[in-house]
Amino acid sequence: MTLQTVPLDTPDGVTARLGWDPGTTVHDRRRIIAKELIAAKLHCEPKEVHIEREAPRGFGYHTRLIASRGGQELPIAIVTASYRAATAVAICDPGLPVGIDIRDLHPEPVDIRLMQKHSRLLDESNIPDLLSHWVSVQAVLEADGRGVRVAPEHVRLDSDRRKGWLPDRRMKYALVDASRDGWLVTIAHGILPAA
């Protein structure tokens, strides 16, 4: 099997694709999909785009993927999320905070317990609702950029899960359900606070 990708529904300013292939490593999936997205944006061949991981800046620093073409770094942010054999990749302007999360519809019992532990839901036994809530929370945490330094239960979502935020920050995030082909995918992107 070779990696096949499909486009995801995205907000303005963000382009994303989902790819699934158990025979391709997660690192290769990220690079292949990022090249495909960037080549389409630049109207060039994927082989013209080079993707590398930046060098770590210190312990605990999460490195990001950097795109270049012809030896010049491109002003494009690459955001990725992977779960099992699937990877979602989004590209956008580097100034736009974006986070993405992906899960399948069959979580492991240990994952369910973790989600329930950090959930703010009244009915944590409703697994489809718990999964939907979790991917939204994780997308907000990814967009925020502080990662595991912020506990998931600190994320707030509005009642219809179209916006998320962290109480200690002014930034709010619009949430887009980009789920497809049996994968739950949520994209969080920053919206400017009202003046």
pTM of the model: 0.92
CA 90/CA 111 separation, integer angstroms: 24
The percent of residues above 70 in pLDDT, for the chain, comes to: 95
Q: Are strands 183-191 and 98-104 parallel, antiparallel or unpaired?
A: antiparallel
Per residue in 127-160, pLDDT (tens digit) is 999 999 999 999 999 999 987 789 999 999 999 9
Residues 6+ apart with CB under 8 A from 48: 39, 42, 69, 70
CA distances from 195 to 25, 28, 164, 192 (A): 45, 43, 18, 9
Residue carrying structure tokens 């962290």: 166
